[in-house]
Structure 1
Amino acid sequence: MHKEGHSPAASAARRRPRPLSPLREHLRDTFWFAPTAGLVGAAVLAMGVLELDNLVVRELREEGEYGEVESLIAIADDMKTIITTVGSAMLTFIGVVFSISLVALQMASGQFSPRVVRLYVRSRITKCTFAVFLATFLFALLVQASYEGNEDPRTVSTVPVFSSVMCVLMVLLSLGLFIAYVNSTLRLMRISHVIDRITRESFRVLDRHGVADAGRPGLPEAGAEVRYRGRAGVLRDVHIARLVRAARRQGVVLRLIPRIGDFVVPGTPVLAVHGGAVAPPQRALRYTVSVGVERTFHQDLGFGLRQLSDIAQRALSAAVNDPTTAVQCLDRIVQILAAVSGRPLGALHHCDRKGAVRLVQDVPEWADLVDLGFAEIRGCAVGSPQVTRRLMAALEDLARLAPAERRAPLERHRTLLEQAVERTVREPADRDFALRPDRQGIG
């Protein structure tokens, strides 16, 4: 039997932070990095391949193989038309991809939820397609600019044969990526795939969080606070490794006061200092708190449930009236809640290299997650027996999976749903039908 404070759950919770900073996630939320990297890569590749062309021509001239040089000039002239066509055609392709993206974004925002637009922004295939298209366009321009009017094999300095072949290969890669991009975009325009992507992102966050401590550890009285000094916005994530280092050097324990996803304004206390009266210096806390205009999946445990709830509510609105989509969202909400039903929830404890707790970070409790998943959908589902039946089945399934001490929020939602249906539905037979558990809603 494990001693108190040394259980496997506690050991997993009090883990050292991953050294990877939130920079990778922030770059994934931008659309400029991949295309810029593609342009830089195209320029470097063009310089390297053109230098190879120069080296080949120079060696052939030194060996007196002027006939070979003349043959290369003929091949390059034949491919010049292709390179010129590629330069103009890639702009058209880029315009088509951009137009498809705008249509997909507009449909996703209008039909699903504005929160799911970030799935398109974070799409790797979309960014890769843009990057390769722009890289091919720039590469074609640089190769076209390397052509010389001189065709004398004794004096010509550059014959872009290998460069032209490389340009053709990049065009073939662009065509393949374009097919993959269209397929990926069409999938993201289907609600089932959007819901599946949100669920998979939620499980990645859950795996990244590890296991929280079942109860809050005893911390000494807070001796100081660190207030936020940046612009107002949503707390997206914190640089855990940097905060742990700052707390270790100061010999204190830091506690994150707001939760990930909270809106913070300048002057808001963001860190409480325990075990000391002096906070770490500001230079040690620079770039440790990231605030943006919207929530992200990186460290936000409840963001997936928030998106699924938004999609379900929009589907149940009078303008859309799509209860089947709401049932699909409930399926995934049950999947996520079932995964956390037996996990300790409360506070994450991040340790330094010696195993001492240096950062305490609150995560949503079980009741918070249940309310987030069911409360707003329950309020909109009263007039749709398909959704109320699925909701009853969901609450029953979770009650079987959850420990006894976690069944109270589920029973509360079940009681509130029954009361709402009784107030709204007049006929007893209709009430019984609406409250009969069914995992498919209505068949």
Structure 2
Amino acid sequence: MATGGPRARLRPRALSPLREHLRDTFWFAPTAAMVLVLVVWALAAELDTEIVEALQDQQDYDAVKDLLRFADDAKTVVTVVSSAMMTFIGVVFSISLVAVQMASGQFSPRVVRIFVRSRITKATFAVFLATFLLSLLVLTSYDGEPDPRLVTSVPLVQSIVTLLMVALSLLLFVMYVNQTLRLMRVGHVVARIAGESFRVVERMPAGPPADATGDLGPETARVAYQGRAGVLRDVNIARLVRTARHQGVVLRLIPRIGDFVVPGTPLLAVHGGPAPSRRALRYTVSVGVERTFHQDLGFGLRQLSDIALRALSPAVNDPTTAVQALDRIVQFLAALTRRPLDTSLHRDRRGAVRLVQPVPGWTELVDLGFAEIRGCAAESPQVTRRMVAGLDDLLLVVPAERRAPLLRHRELLVSAVEQTVPEAADRAFALRPDRQGIG
């Protein structure tokens, strides 16, 4: 990659930021749990050895015999746990597959990531696998020597830890079943999507309006994307701001989070100086096969719209679910009515703008929330009534300069109902505002 020229090149790696990406994986939590249980087992085994040696040094062989009897009893329990835990893991895995399949078919394929990111699901798998591994390790620690003077170790602490892990596994199994049943209900699914969307809003920096980007100065260089094609999932904001500060420039992200990028297309525009080096720009962007919530402001509306569209399809015909999705769409848009949109400005410690990141504008978000649903809702009075009520509520809270897209959608909805519904009484009924649809 040449630096300082008009077309520098960047080859990113998916590492931005690590915590959010690990939450989208299913292997990390079980792997970490099994590594941790190895450490716990090693410490427990060492403690068991010290206990036996201390009793032998005191020549308290009766206590050692008591430990041996306890170990014989505990071994039976640990053996049962070892054989039964794999059955439990199979049950949990089967429940997860059925739940994911039902959610994908009933709501949207994009809601599958809710199950993947579920902390209870990951914790249940992690604890079950850790308990199974611990039981196997404890079984290898039993000493067949019956003489209390010759025995080297009795797995007392190890057995107690295993029993505690079994108790934790049972508790997590109950919580897991409860969580899975909740996620199979549309109300909880749309609430989770809305919650994730609001977290994206909270992470957005509060900044000046979009026209403030006109002060960046002339564009002096560009960084082209070079890597595997895919969806731009997020960027490492802290690293880009730090790189721009060291270089004395302002970086402007050209594609928006959620855009599909291909090699050779512009990725970053540089204002005020030469492009940073390839090494400085490593690990700054992440490209994957699907969008994520981390920095994608419109992804929540995309999922809510998909759920409503699936519910309004002739195969499903569930307008109540569409109304529930509209409830959250209106809630999300109401939270953005007075926030600066179109661009997100990221500053360094001295307050200077170092990174300009494009985000959806108000009109784009309103279109994303209402356009496709409106096109499918003309024949469903429950949905049209809820949409009219939602648009009217938003018109009451938005500033004057943001009323135009809401009025446009309201007029288009009225026009669609007038063209679809032949009876005047039915048209009047379908266009009457009602926050419950048909309350």
Same-fold call, TM > 0.5? yes
Aligned to 1:167: 162
> Within 2, Cα distance between the matches of 1:381 and 1:21?
39
- 1:272 is paired with a residue whose SS is strand
Picking from 424, 432, 442, the partner of 2:438 is 442
Partner of 2:270, secondary structure, is strand
Write out aligned runs for 1:98-137 (5 A): 98-137=93-132
Q: Distance in 1 between matches of 2:205 and 2:284?
A: 21
TM-score (norm 2): 0.95
C-alpha distance in 2, partners of 1:179/1:256?
46
Are 1:269 and 2:257 an aligned pair? Answer: no
Cα distance in 2 for residues equivalent to 1:58 and 1:383: 81
TM-aligned CA deviation for residue 211 of structure 1: 2.2
Cα distance in 1 for residues equivalent to 2:344 and 2:84: 53
- Structure 1 CA distance for aligned equivalents of residues 263 and 208 of structure 2: 30
Q: CA deviation at 1:208?
A: 0.8
| Deviating more after overlay: 205-214 vs 257-266 | 205-214
Selected match of 2:280 from 261, 284, 287: 284
AA partner of residue 239 (structure 1): N
Q: Could you tell me how far 1:348 is from its partner in structure 2?
A: 1.4
Deviation of residue 21 (structure 1)? Answer: 5.4
Please, which of 180, 183, 200 is the counterpart of residue 185 of structure 1? 180
Letter in 1 for 2:326: L
SS across alignment from 1:76: helix
Shift of 1:215: 2.4
In the alignment, does 2:257 pair up with 1:252?
no
CA positional deviation for 1:254: 0.1
Hey, what does 2:9 align to over in structure 1? none
Q: SS of the residue aligned with 2:211?
A: coil
Is the CA contact (8 Å cut-off) linking 1:211 and 1:345 kept in structure 2? Answer: no
Contact residue 16 and residue 285 of structure 2 kept, 8 A: no
Higher alpha-carbon deviation: 116-125 or 69-78: 69-78
Question: How much does 1:99 deviate?
Answer: 0.3
SS of structure 2 residue aligned to 1:283: coil
Q: How far 1:213 moved relative to its partner?
A: 2.4
SS in 2 for 1:210: coil
2:199 is the counterpart of 1:204: yes
User: 1:388-423 CA distances to partner (integer Å, 9 max, x unpaired)?
Assistant: 111111111101110111000001101111111111
Measure, in 2, the Cα distance between the counterparts of 1:212 and 1:256: 16
Look up the match of 2:220.
Answer: 223
Q: Give the percent of matched residue pairs that are identical in Structure 1 and Structure 2.
A: 70
**Which of 400, 404, 412 is matched with 1:408 structurally?**
404
Give the Cα–Cα distance (whole angstroms) in 2 for the partners of residues 160 and 424 of structure 1: 76
* Aligned residue number for residue 427 of structure 1: 423
Secondary structure of 2:256's aligned partner: coil
Matches within 5 A, 1:32-431: 32-217=27-212, 218-276=215-273, 278-431=274-427
Contact 1:105 1:117 (C-alpha < 8 Å) held by counterparts: yes
In structure 1, distance between residues paired with 2:24 and 2:321: 27
1:94 is aligned with what amino acid?
A: I
CA contact (8 A) 2:16 2:286 kept: no
Q: 5+ residue gaps in structure 1? A: 1-19
Q: Give the deviation of 1:29 after TM superposition.
A: 0.1
Gaps of 5+ in 2: 1-14
- In the alignment, the residues of structure 1 paired with residue 434 and residue 206 of structure 2 have an alpha-carbon distance, to the nearest angstrom, of 32
- Range moving further from structure 2, 145-154 or 103-112: 145-154
Which AA in structure 2 matches 1:272?
A: A
Amino acid paired to 1:27: L
Give the deviation of 1:41 after TM superposition.
0.8
Contact 2:49 2:152 (8 Å CA) reproduced: yes
Question: How far, CA to CA, are the matches of 1:86 and 1:255 in structure 2?
Answer: 57
Distance in structure 2 (CA, Å) of the matches to 1:82 and 1:369: 58
1:255 touches 1:361 (CA, 8 Å); kept in 2?
A: yes
1:360 counterpart SS class: strand
Quote how far apart the aligned CAs of 1:216 are: 2.9
**Conservation of the 8 A alpha-carbon contact between 2:232 and 2:259:** yes
What code does the residue aligned with 1:104 have?
Answer: A
TM-score of the superposition, structure 1-length normalised?
A: 0.94
How far apart, CA to CA, are the structure 2 residues paired with 1:148 and 1:174? 27
Q: Does 1:22 align with 2:17?
A: yes
Amino acid of the residue matched to residue 48 of structure 2? D
Does the residue aligned with 2:286 lie in a helix, a strand or coil? strand
Greater than 2 Å deviation, 4+ residue runs? 210-213
Deviation at 1:249, TM superposition (A): 1.3
- How far did 1:347 drift? 1.5
Question: Is this contact kept in 2: 1:212–1:346, CA < 8 A?
Answer: no
Aligned equivalents of 1:366 and 1:99: distance in 2? 42
1:176 is aligned with what amino acid?
L
Query: For residues 298 and 59 of structure 1, what CA distance do their matches in structure 2 show?
Result: 54
Tell whether the 8 Å contact from 1:315 to 1:321 is kept in structure 2 after alignment.
yes
Deviation at 1:220, TM superposition (A): 1.1
Amino acid at match of 1:306: R
Partner of 1:13: none
Indicate the SS of the match to 1:285. coil
The residue aligned with 1:14 is none
1:215 and 1:262 mapped to 2: Cα distance? Answer: 20
The amino acid of 1:199's aligned partner reads A
The one-character-per-residue Cα deviations of 1:32-85 (angstroms, maximum 9, x if unpaired) are: 000000100111100000110000001111111111111111110111100111
> Structure 2: which amino acid aligns with 1:228?
Y
Q: Secondary structure at the match of 2:89?
A: helix
In 1, Cα distance between equivalents of 2:210 and 2:167: 57
